[in-house]
Structure 1
Amino acid sequence: MQKIFFSILTFSVFAASCSTDLLDRGPLDKYSEQNVWKDSTLINLYVGNIYAGIRSTYDEGGDWLMACITDEGESARTFHLSQQINSGQYGPSDNVYSPYWTGCYTQARKCNTLLERVPEAPLSDALRTRMTGEAYFLRALAYMQLYDRFGRFPIIDKVLSLEDETTIPRAKDEDCVKFILADLDKAASLLPPSYNSANLGRATSWAAIALKSRFLLNQHRDTEAAAAAWAVIDSKKYILFGDFLTLFNPENDNNTEIIFDKQYASGISGQTHSLDTYENSPFFTGFSSAITCPTQNLVDAFKMKDGLAWDQSPLYNAAKPYDNRDPRFYATVLYDGYQWMNETVDMKKGSKFNRASGSGSSPTGYFLRKFLNPKFDTKVNNNNANFQNCPVIRLAEIYLVYAEAKWNLGEKEEARTYVNKLRTRAKMPEIEAADFTFTSLQNERFVELAFEGQRWFDIKRWNEGPQKIGVKITGVDIQDKPEGRTYTRFDVETRFFQPKMYLFPIPLSEINKYPAGTPLEQNPNWN
């Protein structure tokens, strides 16, 4: 499993140096700043530290995925902040997503330092150009993540003291968008289109263009979004991976579909995650596991293999509700009767796989399957260390960006073509022209990109928070009766949504850093 671009020896020095102070200076706390910028190896480690600081979907809520505040998932832990969000019982003092605010600015500071110092660094012209492009790309990614959650932000585009930073107000919305797009354009012009195997994990020019297409779609700039998406598609640099079931397995990291991901590997990237440990059934891990539980809402979105909805298809059997589904369902959801890690999973409450209550008990009757390693062995990996990469953007999403933009531009047949490419890969029947609606396009995003961190932003773009977030979340109740096992839908909870929730409140912890006279403006209706 080839990983990110540093030798084990040099990175072991770097990994030991990572810190969590305000500047998170990485190797600069082991070596003087003067020495770092005179040594190409240390500069490379500095850049690697910025890559390591990317907040991926796996890092989203600390120990819960963003799916838990959409109709994709429900957290099994009632004390999680996601439960407050779902009930609308949160505000600035709860500091929702404060790690994103602080983390994104940590990333921006490091990128600004790199941009300031790299022109005079002892590097070849090619390496200097590439590192400059990486700085623009990584800064754009950080600010995109900030903007997606909070909207307008203070633009910090040069090295400043922390005191000076807290005098800069939030920029105008159009200026934030312009800044992010400019960084992505600069990155695309400076970065190479690909790397050799020793440099897997670095941002490419195509990764910058792909992120630009996503960002433009979210800004409702459909013509530009379609053009950027098409540039990636037409490059023929990326190919849909043949098997959706194994697309996210560790052995298929860096496959032909991945445009950009966050790399994890022991001894090389210096980072791990705990997805296999904390999303598996506690039966397999011995921990209070299975945090992010798929909803029946999501399960019902997966069509039957004839292309019809479960309640319209003759293939549906209430006694065997999981037979004959879209194959992507089997790659996404762990359900009753699933063959997993040499076991037949029993999802009835009180079974050895699904505890009757408390931690390790699924509130919906399902566990997460997507992203998990089917060969994960807790007897070997008992330090909670998991290594499979986290996709940031892949070709399938680019197809869906292109399709949605083309639909919005009135080119519905072109949109259908690219939705059907994904259905063909999934071994599902194509959607006929007469049946192709915007709802079917939305559903395709729902099932194809489930748990990949885009659902919240899709719903925001569609302005459908009340219809898709403030809804009843359903699960399945499993019972053994004389006539056999039964599966009955039930309401898990009714979520709460108001329009102000499309933006999270600026964390009070950040507002309090600003001195009197230069306050950090709060988002509308959150004061």
Structure 2
Amino acid sequence: MKRKWFTILILGTCLLLNTACSDQFLEEKRDYSVFGPEDIFKDPNQANAVFGSIYKKILGKYNSPLCGSDILMRQDQDNMGGANYMLTEELASGYPIGMTGNNKYKGVHHKTTKAGNHLGNPHYWNYGKNSTGNYNNFSKDVLFPSIYLINCFIDEIERYRTQYLDDTFWDRLKGQAIFARAWLYLDAVRLFGGVPYYSTSLEDTPSVDDRSPRMPIDSCIEKICADFQQAASLLPPKWDSENMGRFTSVAALAMISRVRLYAASPVFNASWDNPQSRRWKAALDAGLAAEQAANEAGYGTSVNDINAWDQMFYAYAAGSFNPEAIIMIPKNSNTMYDATYSNKWEKYIRPQAITSASGSGFPAPKQMIDLFPMKDGTRPVAGQNYDPLKFYRDRDPRFYRTFAFSGCEWPGTTKQLWLYVYKYGNEYRYTDGTPGDAGAQKKSKAIVWKMSDPTVAVGSEDYAGTDILEYRYAELLLNIAECYAATGNSGKCIEYLSRIRQRVGINSANNYGIGNPSNKYALIEACLYERRVELAYEGKRSWDMRRWLLYEGGAGFDPVLAGVDGKNYYNPENAWGLGWKLYDGQAGRANYSKTNNILTMLGLNRFSGTKHVGEIWGYDLSTPQPTESDPLQNNAAKLAVPHIKKNMTDAERNAAFDKLEAFYTSNSLVTQNAINAMGPKYGMDSGTSDSDKNWLFSWRGWYYVYPLHYDLYDASKGNTWLEQTVGWMVANANDGEQDGTYVYCTAE
């Protein structure tokens, strides 16, 4: 069993549903179909099991770094208007398997938007369609029913703890429950803005006919941080081997750092550009406090070279302490249990040529391939220190642990991967093992293999027991670096960024390649850049893009106002700076424009109005091959390429690259844009219809924080006293007056 405590909790929860065992059950006048609170809370094992049901409820389906859980909706495939990881530069539409591009975000300029109807269930804090009179009913598996369950659990602990006299046990169980409550509220606030906050204190307990208003963001943040602080006071910094993976005091303090950082960022903080901002100061203090606690407990000690960096994701056995894992989601490989307790990452990332099962992995867009630093830490600049045709040469050590490409041997197997396209008849084929013409669509010259676990056998990808590192020590260092950047402390910012790079073996010259950013904005951009590299594909990027308004910089972006000749697409440059915008010059917010906004300050390009680019290796694409199989499968130059492994030395890797390039050049393989080489349907964000050919990502300003669902907000539901989120419309239209009075971005 991969995780003993987690398995016991789940089994214990199931036991609660069964008939109790008793030799005298016929004489006892009692219903044994269920246990009552007095049965549960006089037995620590049963109380533990009940918390297991809560844990399962909020984290049970968190089955990979990019596929979230039921209630904690961080990167869920079915929430947030589609797969949220597709809303970044990391992955294109169509991935993982079975996902398709979400037309709510396509560059179709006439797409209508009704307040909230782009957001899949669950809606807001309750299921709107059943909330005909009171939005606070507890009938559905969403935020407040879960909060209610947790609060009842905490109350029962206090009521029955005297029946089993072990204050340490009860305090730790209570601390885990409070931690879970704060985490739920954090994700709710990040997605929806202020919500009513119900804790177990008397002033927070709602009545049956409660009409609690939406709290200001600042108030929610303080409540969340107070919960995490209380959890920290009750929890140990580490657990023993039987309980590894439970929430800890270090994790609680680290979560305060995450909360404070989000609250200080532009999405919530109209004073973000003030180096004296009290929110940035609070975020810095929280980060430093968490770092001190982590260091004292022995966290952050394991990663001292690139191999240790790679192995932190999989090399720690059940019950052993992983110093990089501040929050770890335990997973179980035992197939007798529900598959939702397994980690599905290997299923998603392994291509068919490796697994002999359906799948093509995660092809990496050109934006990600070109992103990673060079070996010396400097950024790649085509024509200067970087050749995009030889993209694998002299890169940051993390590049070789994040991406696989032609010639690479998949970890834990002896299979060599090849990624190139050839023509067969009027169609194209791809060498990653996916069959037919569809197999050549949305492909890349590299795929993701970060966090690949070599101990997961081929055929066992559905039931991997690899634990998920939800919060790493590196994220804490990056949080602190960003706070120093925002407050203008360049020396300390560079110090913390350097620590990230020192851990992976980048040479120390010129501040580990970071250089000397010239001002506060350049420092912030350097921090966001390092997060893109260090935390790539770990489910963190979309949150960074939200909190820094990186889709359009706060200047507004509205395709409706920039349509092209009445067709279903738009001019993105014209759309930028139009429509509703969060930074509108009101209530202490700056008045950003197309030429002056967060993106222009940081020197970044907008994401809205762009698409993911797929570059491929192509073999003689103008000439159909006589057979459907790979025409180069027995090519001598190809067979001469050594298997390129993750842990090669630089000399071994470069020798293999020489052979790879000999194969490439001797067979006239060409690096090409997939759309240009084969047509629009082969592009990462493209297709054959007119609108799909012109597919452009079109995130708009009002998407940063979602609204009350229209079924809940509608006057006929009796909830007219609720404040709608600012920027959202009640009419089924894209233009005209914006509706909503609840403001989430406030000045200090």
TM-score when scaled to structure 1? 0.86
Q: CA deviation at 1:421?
A: 0.9
2:282 to 224, 243, 247: 224
In structure 2, relative to structure 1, the CA distance for the partners of 1:416 and 1:175 (3 Å cut) is same
**2:599 — aligned with what?**
none
* 1:351 corresponds to 2:436: no
Q: CA deviation at 1:314?
A: 5.9
Task: Give the aligned length.
Answer: 515
Deviations along 1:334-378, one digit per CA (max 9) or x if unpaired, are: 333322132221222423415355479544444331233233224
Looking at structure 1, the residues matched to 343 and 207 of structure 2 have their Cα atoms a distance apart, in angstroms, of 34
Q: Which amino acid aligns with 1:222?
A: W
| Greater percentage in helix | 1
Secondary structure of residue in 1 paired with 2:464: coil
**1:131 — aligned with what?**
173
Looking at structure 2, the residues matched to 95 and 402 of structure 1 have their Cα atoms a distance apart, in angstroms, of 33
1:304 to 352, 368, 374: 374
Contact 1:245 1:330 in 2 (8 A): no
1:45 to 40, 46, 49: 49
Q: CA deviation at 1:69?
A: 1.4
Contact 2:124 2:708 in 1 (8 A): no
* 1:80 corresponds to 2:122: no
Looking at structure 2, the residues matched to 53 and 499 of structure 1 have their Cα atoms a distance apart, in angstroms, of 32
In structure 2, relative to structure 1, the CA distance for the partners of 1:95 and 1:257 (3 Å cut) is same
2:671 to 487, 490, 493: 487
Q: Which amino acid aligns with 2:392?
A: Y
Q: CA deviation at 1:294?
A: 2.9
Q: CA deviation at 1:281?
A: 1.0
Secondary structure of residue in 2 paired with 1:391: strand
Contact 1:278 1:291 in 2 (8 A): yes
In structure 2, relative to structure 1, the CA distance for the partners of 1:348 and 1:330 (3 Å cut) is same
2:469 to 377, 388, 391: 391
* 1:69 corresponds to 2:90: no
In structure 2, relative to structure 1, the CA distance for the partners of 1:450 and 1:507 (3 Å cut) is farther
**2:235 — aligned with what?**
191
**1:150 — aligned with what?**
192
Secondary structure of residue in 1 paired with 2:370: helix
**2:347 — aligned with what?**
277
1:368 to 445, 448, 473: 448
**2:503 — aligned with what?**
425
Q: CA deviation at 1:86?
A: 3.6
Contact 1:396 1:422 in 2 (8 A): yes
Deviations along 1:366-396, one digit per CA (max 9) or x if unpaired, are: 43312332332243x27x2222122221110
Contact 1:226 1:402 in 2 (8 A): yes
**2:700 — aligned with what?**
498
Contact 1:250 1:387 in 2 (8 A): no
Q: CA deviation at 1:153?
A: 2.1
Looking at structure 2, the residues matched to 166 and 250 of structure 1 have their Cα atoms a distance apart, in angstroms, of 50
In structure 2, relative to structure 1, the CA distance for the partners of 1:461 and 1:95 (3 Å cut) is closer
Contact 2:40 2:46 in 1 (8 A): yes
Q: CA deviation at 1:37?
A: 3.1
* 1:462 corresponds to 2:548: yes
Matches within 5 A, 1:205-220: 205-220=249-264
**1:22 — aligned with what?**
none
In structure 2, relative to structure 1, the CA distance for the partners of 1:30 and 1:338 (3 Å cut) is farther
**2:155 — aligned with what?**
116
Contact 1:52 1:269 in 2 (8 A): no
Contact 1:3 1:269 in 2 (8 A): no
* 1:338 corresponds to 2:408: yes
Q: CA deviation at 1:517?
A: 3.6
In structure 2, relative to structure 1, the CA distance for the partners of 1:459 and 1:199 (3 Å cut) is same
Q: CA deviation at 1:484?
A: 2.8
Contact 2:617 2:670 in 1 (8 A): yes
Q: CA deviation at 1:144?
A: 0.7
Q: Which amino acid aligns with 2:302?
A: F
Deviations along 1:401-458, one digit per CA (max 9) or x if unpaired, are: 0000011111111110111111111222303543573232221110101122221221
Q: Which amino acid aligns with 1:294?
A: A
Report the RMSD for the aligned CA atoms in angstroms. Answer: 3.5
Secondary structure of residue in 2 paired with 1:301: coil
1:246 to 311, 317, 325: 311
Q: CA deviation at 1:186?
A: 1.2
**2:692 — aligned with what?**
none
**1:107 — aligned with what?**
146
1:434 to 516, 524, 530: 516
Q: Which amino acid aligns with 2:540?
A: Q
Unmatched 5+ stretches in structure 1: 19-27
Contact 2:370 2:391 in 1 (8 A): no
User: Which stretch shows the higher mean deviation, 241-250 or 430-439?
Assistant: 430-439
Contact 1:319 1:485 in 2 (8 A): no
Contact 2:229 2:252 in 1 (8 A): yes
Looking at structure 2, the residues matched to 275 and 513 of structure 1 have their Cα atoms a distance apart, in angstroms, of 44
Contact 2:419 2:430 in 1 (8 A): yes
Flag the structure with more relative contact order, 1 or 2, with Cα contacts below 8 A and sequence separation at least 6. 1
In structure 2, relative to structure 1, the CA distance for the partners of 1:373 and 1:191 (3 Å cut) is same
Q: CA deviation at 1:98?
A: 2.5
Looking at structure 2, the residues matched to 291 and 109 of structure 1 have their Cα atoms a distance apart, in angstroms, of 40
Looking at structure 1, the residues matched to 357 and 717 of structure 2 have their Cα atoms a distance apart, in angstroms, of 44
User: Which stretch shows the higher mean deviation, 87-96 or 513-522?
Assistant: 513-522
Contact 2:157 2:170 in 1 (8 A): yes
In structure 2, relative to structure 1, the CA distance for the partners of 1:218 and 1:4 (3 Å cut) is farther
Q: CA deviation at 1:203?
A: 1.1
Unmatched 5+ stretches in structure 2: 18-31, 69-74, 126-140, 265-278, 422-428, 553-604, 621-665, 675-682, 686-695, 730-748
Q: Which amino acid aligns with 1:143?
A: Y
Deviations along 1:40-63, one digit per CA (max 9) or x if unpaired, are: 211101112222233444323237
**2:120 — aligned with what?**
96
User: Which structure has the larger Rg?
Assistant: 2
**1:258 — aligned with what?**
325
Looking at structure 2, the residues matched to 300 and 492 of structure 1 have their Cα atoms a distance apart, in angstroms, of 16
User: Which stretch shows the higher mean deviation, 156-165 or 115-124?
Assistant: 156-165
Looking at structure 2, the residues matched to 274 and 262 of structure 1 have their Cα atoms a distance apart, in angstroms, of 13
**1:23 — aligned with what?**
none
**1:294 — aligned with what?**
364
In structure 2, relative to structure 1, the CA distance for the partners of 1:247 and 1:518 (3 Å cut) is same
Q: Which amino acid aligns with 1:218?
A: Y
Q: Which amino acid aligns with 1:208?
A: A
In structure 2, relative to structure 1, the CA distance for the partners of 1:168 and 1:367 (3 Å cut) is farther
Contact 1:336 1:347 in 2 (8 A): yes
**2:399 — aligned with what?**
329
Looking at structure 2, the residues matched to 281 and 499 of structure 1 have their Cα atoms a distance apart, in angstroms, of 36
Deviations along 1:251-291, one digit per CA (max 9) or x if unpaired, are: 46751111112111145996223221233213334444346
In structure 2, relative to structure 1, the CA distance for the partners of 1:69 and 1:274 (3 Å cut) is same
2:225 to 163, 181, 202: 181
Q: CA deviation at 1:316?
A: 3.7
* 1:446 corresponds to 2:532: yes
User: Which stretch shows the higher mean deviation, 309-318 or 338-347?
Assistant: 309-318
